[in-house]
Structure formats: C-alpha cells, structure tokens
C-alpha cells in the first residue's frame, strides 16, 4: 500500500491507557469493558487492550464480534447495539451479552438460545435522559416482569447510554437514578443484579472526581483508552496519552494561489455551496487524502498553524502559509484524530495501518 495515507498506531500507549483506566475504575469497584468498534476490532489493538488489564470486550458491530471469535479471542464480548430481530441466532452464537430495550427481541434471543443449547446474557437499557436506546424509567419494573422468567436468557442487569445522541452528561443525579432503579429491580426479583452499567468515557470524570454513585459497577470505555479524550465533556483526559494514533498523508502539490476561487460559484462535488474568505494569496498544499479515505472533519493538522480548507473525494487542501516548517512535494503532513476520524480511518481500506510497540499478533 505504498503511497497510501498511513494510520500510525502506538500499541504501548494504548496498553498504558488501558492500565490506567482499569486501575482508576477498579478503585471504585467498577469493571471496564474495552470497546473495540472505534478501531474495527483490529486484533493488534485488542491485544494491547488485554495487555493493559481489560478482560471483557464490547462492540456494536456483529461483523467485528464474529471476526474476534475467528481470531480465537475467548474473552466475554458484549454487543453494544440493540440486536436486530433478523440476526438473533448470530448474536447468541458469538456474543455472550447484548444490550436490549425491546421485549420482542429478548424473547427471540431466548428462543434462539434454547435452539442453540446456549444461555445468553441480557442487559436492559434504561433511558435516563440522552434519548438514544432504552426503555423509559416508569416501564422498567413491568419490562423486568416480562423477561425475568424467560428460559434461555439470563437477565444480568441494567445500563444506560450517555452523551452519544443528546449530548447529556453523566451526573450524580441521572446515574443515581439508574442505581435507584437497579435497587427497585433487585427488590422485585429478590436477588442482586450482576451489572449496573453507567455509560462510557464521559463517565470517567465522575470517577476521577470521586462523584460516581455507589452501585455503578461497569463502564464501557473506548475513546478514553484509544485517544485519551472525552468528547462529551470537551476535554483531554490529563492522565492518559492523547497521541496513540497519528495519520500521515503525502503532499502532492504546493502552490501559491488566491484564497477565493475565480468564476461563478455553483455546487461542489458533494452538492454543497462553498463559501470563502478573501485572505489574499496563500500557500496551499494538496494531500493524497480525501473524503473517500477518512472523515475529514475528524482530523486536525499537528503542524503549526496549518489549516484544512476543504476536501474532495481524493484531495485535501491545506493552507500551509503559517505552518511551522516549509513543506514540499513528497513531504508528509501529520494529523491527530477525533473519535469519528479514528472510526473512519480504521475502517478505510485506503488507509494503511502501521503498528509500533506492543506484541504484534
């Protein structure tokens, strides 16, 4: 793949981040599931997570889970997207646990588990404000009644999602409500729940601040371990590495050009009407990197004051007038990535993946 954009992956930094997250959460009695969807469950990165003390894995894509099983990863795996009714057999066959909010799907999972001679773990998702998946709070006890006695499945606990749709931050109040609902379920069932899952990376701030409600005993962490960032709280996590991933793209043109295109403006190749600010003549680099390679809005140049001006399918145009170094054709520009940028780069067959450190599997 010579000449392709390159995603550099530092496995040792991912392992170190995993170790730190696991240790921080363990102090509060919280298990960490390592979320693998952000890097398409590449086995080298999964190995780095496991080396850092992660035991349970989690992914939203059945394709990734199936591939992990084919690679002989025996760790418990949770499916993080509500199962499709049409795919319950695969879910039971390959995932130990799934998150759920529809009784009809849970019943189908139970039937599939009986047919396959398995038992499948069910975590019931509860909506405490973000309005993505989950049953409403007033329906929790009735839903538990409907699924509690189903053969083929184990109802192991409740969980919630925070920040991914509505941007709602985890708090003492909303996670405290989840714990209270868990206690109500326990009273109804007459036994303790195995899991009360309090969200993902955005909940780490409550752990750090010693504000996490007692009773939350699981978090599902991807972004924090991979990038050391917490998008929902708009911060870099100071005790984690933020540079485990870097994207490199080659410069294929350098020219001084006007900052405003010349002629009548129509739509660009993606149907948008571009707008430009006249900043005079600027030095611009074109990169062998485009929207077909990566989500451009999810990357940012690390070189001085270089600025992405825009991109087409195959090219990214960067203003390098104020960059910290002279760039010429054949040089590379290096980018950091946000979580959406990492999602797209990891999944792109046009981006070479290059690993360093760790134990290459």
Q: Which of 13, 24, 37, 353 is catalytic?
A: 37
CATH code at position 336: 2.40.37.10
Give a yes or no: residue 29 inside a domain.
yes
Q: Could you tell me if residue 361 is inside a domain?
A: no
Q: Which residues contact 272 (CB under 8 A, 6 or more apart)?
A: none
Same domain, yes or no: 253 and 170: no
**Looking at 70-79, 207-216, 219-228, 263-272, which range is the least confident one?**
263-272
In this structure, are 179 and 254 located in the same domain? no
User: What pLDDT is attached to residue 2?
Assistant: 61
Tell me: do 139 and 276 sit in the same domain.
no
Q: Looking at 203, 236, 269, which one is the last position of a domain?
A: 236
Residue 170 contacts residue 162 (beta carbons within 8 Å): yes
CA dist., res. 146 & res. 245, Å (int): 45
Residues 348 and 224 in one domain: no
Which pLDDT score, from 0 to 100, does residue 270 have?
Answer: 72
Residue 3 lies in a domain: no
Active site residue 37: yes
Tell me, yes or no, whether 225 and 259 share the same domain.
no
Phi, psi of 154 (to 5 degrees): -110, 120
pLDDT at 269: 62
Tally of domains within the chain: 2
Write down the pLDDT at residue 162: 86
Tell whether 118 is covered by a domain. Answer: yes
- Tell me the CATH number at 133: 3.20.20.10
Q: What is the per-residue pLDDT for 190?
A: 94
Of 175, 206, 236, the residue at which a domain comes to its end is 236
Check pLDDT > 50 for residue 251: yes
Residues 128 and 27 in one domain: yes
Percentage, residues of the chain above pLDDT 70: 97
Task: Tell me which of 236, 260, 280 is where a domain ends.
Answer: 236
Long-range pairs for 214-219 at CB < 8 Å and ≥24 separation? 214/179, 215/179, 215/182, 215/183, 216/28, 216/30, 216/175, 216/178, 216/179, 217/29, 217/30, 217/31, 218/30, 218/31, 218/32, 218/33, 218/157, 218/159, 219/25, 219/30, 219/31, 219/32, 219/33
Q: Residue 359 has what pLDDT?
A: 66
What pLDDT, on the 0 to 100 scale, is given for residue 7? 98
Range of the domain at 290: 245-356
Length in residues, the chain: 361
For the entire predicted model, the pTM comes to 0.94
- The C-alpha atoms of residue 247 and residue 249 are separated, in whole angstroms, by 7
Task: Report DSSP state, residue 212.
Answer: P
Q: Give pLDDT, residue 358.
A: 82
- Confidence grade of residue 3 (pLDDT, cut at 50, 70, 90): low
291 shares a domain with 163: no
């Amino acid at each position: 793949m010579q000449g392709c954009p390159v995603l550099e992956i530092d496995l040792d930094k991912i392992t170190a981040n995993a170790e730190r997250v696991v240790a921080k959460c363990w102090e509060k009695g919280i298990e960490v599931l390592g979320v693998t969807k952000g890097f398409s469950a590449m086995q080298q990165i999964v190995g780095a997570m496991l080396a850092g003390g992660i035991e349970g894995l989690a992914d939203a894509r059945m394709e990734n889970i199936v591939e992990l099983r084919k690679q002989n990863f025996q760790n418990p795996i949770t499916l993080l997207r509500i199962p499709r009714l049409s795919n319950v057999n695969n879910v039971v066959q390959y995932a130990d646990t799934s998150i759920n909010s529809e009784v009809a799907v849970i019943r189908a999972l139970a039937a599939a588990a009986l047919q396959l001679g398995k038992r499948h773990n069910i975590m019931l998702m509860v909506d405490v404000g973000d309005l993505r998946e989950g049953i409403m709070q007033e329906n929790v006890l009735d839903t538990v009644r409907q699924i509690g006695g189903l053969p083929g499945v184990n109802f192991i606990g409740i969980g919630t999602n925070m920040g991914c749709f509505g941007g709602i931050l985890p708090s003492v109040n909303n996670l405290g409500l989840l714990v209270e609902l868990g206690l109500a379920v326990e009273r109804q069932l007459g036994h303790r729940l195995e899991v009360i899952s309090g969200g993902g990376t955005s909940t780490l701030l409550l752990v750090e601040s010693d504000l996490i409600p007692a009773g939350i005993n699981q978090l599902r962490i991807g972004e924090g371990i991979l990038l050391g960032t917490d998008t929902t709280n708009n911060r870099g996590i100071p005790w984690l590495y933020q540079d485990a991933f870097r994207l490199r793209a080659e410069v294929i043109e350098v020219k001084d050009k006007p900052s405003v295109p010349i002629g009548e403006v129509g739509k660009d190749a993606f149907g948008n009407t571009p707008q430009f600010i006249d900043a005079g003549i600027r030095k611009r680099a074109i990169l062998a990197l485009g929207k077909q390679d990566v989500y451009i809005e999810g990357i940012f140049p690390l070189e001085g004051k270089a600025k992405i001006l825009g991109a087409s399918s195959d090219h990214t145009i960067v203003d390098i007038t104020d960059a910290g170094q002279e760039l010429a054709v054949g040089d590379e520009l290096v980018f950091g990535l946000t979580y959406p940028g990492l999602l797209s780069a990891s999944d792109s067959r046009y981006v070479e993946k290059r690993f360093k450190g760790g134990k290459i599997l």
